[in-house]
Amino acid sequence: MDTKKIIVLGADHAGYEIKEFIKEQLTNLGYALEDIGTDSTKSVDYPDFAEKLGLQVAKNPAKKGILTCGTGIGASIAANKIPGIKAALVHDEKEAILSIEHNNANVLVLGGRPFDKKKVKKILLAWLNADFQGGRHALRINKIEKIEKKYSHEII
């Protein structure tokens, strides 16, 4: 299968149910999946899954990731600590599209409590079908990457 169609999925316990719903949707759409866990609603720590997912995506730029936790806030903060990760916490279709068109996000982050299946499906499709616009947005992404490199070896 085309590596551009590989999606890495990760969640903590609070994001488990939405991850399973997303997994079903992506399977129906023909995506190859790598599910890095968790595999239940038993309490676990979101930074562990954000790190694992972030490293998988960062090592292979053809992959994208979808990460979920209770609100999505903690998971997005943790994932964005991995160099090369552009994790976007998204709440609607417009944000999903813009996270790709303007920010070239490689990780979609969603809150799992509560979640609306119809809304999640719309967000997912919008994110998967959007394309990075480049141009002035590429200049901004380059600036973000320079900041990341500048401070990656320094302690602030």
Selected catalytic residue, list 13, 91, 102, 153: 102
**102 among known catalytic residues:** yes
- Can you read off the two tokens belonging to residue 18? 């939405």
Return all residues near 16 (Cβ < 8 A) that are at least 6 apart.
Answer: 38, 39, 40, 41, 68, 112
**Are 38 and 16 in contact, with CB atoms under 8 Å apart?**
yes
User: Hey, which residues are catalytic here?
Assistant: 69, 102
